Amino acid sequence: MEIGDILTDREVLAIFEETGSYIKGHFLLTSGLHSDRYFEKFRILEHPHHAERMCKELAIRFGDVPVDVVIGPAIGGIIIAYEVARQFNARAIFTERVQGKMSLRRGFEIQPHEHVLIVEDLITTGGSVREVIRLVEDTKAHIQGIGLLMDRSGGTVDLGYRTDALVTTEISTFPPEECPLCKQNIPLTERGSRNILRT
């Protein structure tokens, strides 16, 4: 695939599959929900040519607006924010949790006059992105939109700003008390940057 090619939904999914990012099993998601499928985005991001191509596609999709700062939540959004910012020749920063609250550390700042693009790898409920949105809104900066590698909600999550995902798919998720996989006693695997992998 040439760097100048436009990525389709099918091509993005093919990259997930090619890199072993698409996993079947019984998973506890960061949202607290359970699922029978999991997308391990870092299996994609370990390949710089895939990361570059997908992040360039996000930059193309927001190429009609000015962007001074690209921000993403740690850990998943760090590489994406860096690579998308590189495409815009903008600053790249990331948020971290401090006592459970999404915060800017390491001297990162956002000025009220700046135009900010928020990026994230995957969303299911959009909880982490909403925390970043609130943080940026508190700075009085201009949020230009939210760019995602994948929207696992099937497009049902409304983040309140222009949102563009490279691929939108609907993944079955279950509250723990209603999970059919739990009822079958299938071992649960905890995934995500907040957790240590346990099986």
Pick from 13-17, 76-80, 162-166: least confident: 13-17
Residue 197 in any domain: the answer is: no
> Hunting for tokens 């949202």 — which residue is that?
31
Residue 126 in any domain: the answer is: yes
Residue 197 has pLDDT above 80, yes or no: no
Looking at the structure of the chain, the number of domains it has is: 1
The pLDDT > 90 percentage for the chain reads: 58
Domain that holds residue 178: 9-190
Over residues 64-108, the pLDDT tens digits come to 999 999 999 998 899 999 999 999 999 999 999 999 899 999 999
Residue 22 in any domain: the answer is: yes
Residue 146 in any domain: the answer is: yes
Bond preceding residue 75 cis, omega within 30 of 0: yes
Residue 199 in any domain: the answer is: no
Q: What is the pTM of this model?
A: 0.82
Q: Which residues contact 95 (CB under 8 A, 6 or more apart)?
A: 71, 72, 73, 74, 77, 102, 103, 104, 131, 132, 135
Calpha distance 158→125 (Å, rounded): 9
pLDDT at 198: 33
pLDDT at 170: 82
pLDDT at 193: 45
Residue 115 has pLDDT above 70, yes or no: yes
pLDDT band with cut points at 50, 70 and 90 for residue 5: low
